[in-house]
Amino acid sequence: MSFEPDTLVYNEAGLIPAIAQDSETGEVLMMAWMNAESVRRTLESGRVTYWSRSRQAFWVKGESSGHVQELVEFRFDCDKDCVLVTVRQTGPACHTNRRSCFYTAVRDGEEVELMAPEH
Amino acid sequence: MSFEPDTLVYNEAGLIPAIAQDSETGEVLMMAWMNAESVRRTLESGRVTYWSRSRQAFWVKGESSGHVQELVEFRFDCDKDCVLVTVRQTGPACHTNRRSCFYTAVRDGEEVELMAPEH
């Protein structure tokens, strides 16, 4: 069955959450948002392309930082309302220069920092 | 620093996306939503507890199906607007009886089913 980006389920702002996972380590790197055109561009270009809610613009991940995400596989879930992209991540995924945005854990009620910024 | 569920960033409906990842295999299992009270209950009980948008009720994962998620680690991202729970998943995570909700990939423009329902 041929895939049509418009058949995914977008929220009232026309967006769908997209989880990026490292294709080799399995690490969850970040979550950001896509619209139908971001989905289309991601699939066509092989460069993961989000929609920046703050800038209200397409966001080719790494376009300014060089920390690009090369698409390995594009998946969506049973309800078609969430995307999972497995990627080859160049450099850190997080804008804080950490490998993953999920660098804070809660242990025994305390916030614990799991990784330091890369240099 | 002590963690307060209210310091996470919730959307206009009071919800935050929560990604569940298998703590052993690294597989991304599902994405659902939590409110501040779900976050509190998840941390206190060790049973991952979402907020069901369709039922408008707390959803202790596996409460009816038995496919529970035992919390291994609770993390949140740099913007505090997304949660990642690593879990020990009993049985399939997906309501279709598949291990993960992300069982459909897009390859060469075609939808490809990656895994079958478990029995």
For chain B, what is the mean pLDDT?
97
The total of other beta-carbon atoms located within 10 Å of residue B57's CB is: 9
Q: What is the pLDDT of residues B44-58, one digit of tens each?
A: 999 999 999 999 999
Beta-carbon separation of A78 and B84 below 8 A = no
| A1 CB within 8 Å of a chain B CB | yes
For residue A26, the chain B residues in CB contact (below 8 A) are 25-27
* Cross-chain CB nearest to A77 (options B3, B75, B102): B102
Q: What is the pLDDT of residues A24-72, one digit of tens each?
A: 999 999 999 999 999 999 999 999 999 999 999 999 999 999 999 999 9
The CA distance from A43 to B22, in Å, is 26
For residue A42, the chain B residues in CB contact (below 8 A) are none
Q: Read off the pLDDT band of A97 (50, 70, 90).
A: very high
pLDDT given for residue B41 in this prediction: 98
For chain A, what is the mean pLDDT?
97
| Mean of pLDDT values over A106-116 | 97
Closest CA relative to residue A114, chosen from A22, A18, A27: A27
pLDDT over 70 percentage in chain A: 100
pLDDT given for residue B119 in this prediction: 76
β-strand pairing of A83-89 with A16-22: parallel
Determine which helix (DSSP H) or strand (DSSP E) holds B105, and give its type and residue range: strand B104-107
| Mean of pLDDT values over A16-28 | 98
pLDDT given for residue A33 in this prediction: 98
The CA distance from B55 to B81, in Å, is 23
Nearest CA in chain B to A22: B26
Q: Read off the pLDDT band of A90 (50, 70, 90).
A: very high
pLDDT given for residue A78 in this prediction: 98
Say what the ipTM of the complex is: 0.97
The total of other beta-carbon atoms located within 10 Å of residue A115's CB is: 14
List chain B residues with pLDDT less than 70: none
- C-alpha atoms less than 13 angstroms from C-alpha of B67 in its C-beta half-sphere: 15
Beta-carbon separation of B28 and A95 below 8 A = no
Both structure tokens of A1: 């069955």
pLDDT(A119) > 80: no
pLDDT given for residue A11 in this prediction: 96
* Cross-chain CB nearest to B31 (options A73, A82, A114): A82
* Chain B nearest C-alpha distance from A114 (Å): 10
Determine which helix (DSSP H) or strand (DSSP E) holds B88, and give its type and residue range: strand B83-89
pLDDT given for residue A40 in this prediction: 98
pLDDT given for residue B16 in this prediction: 98
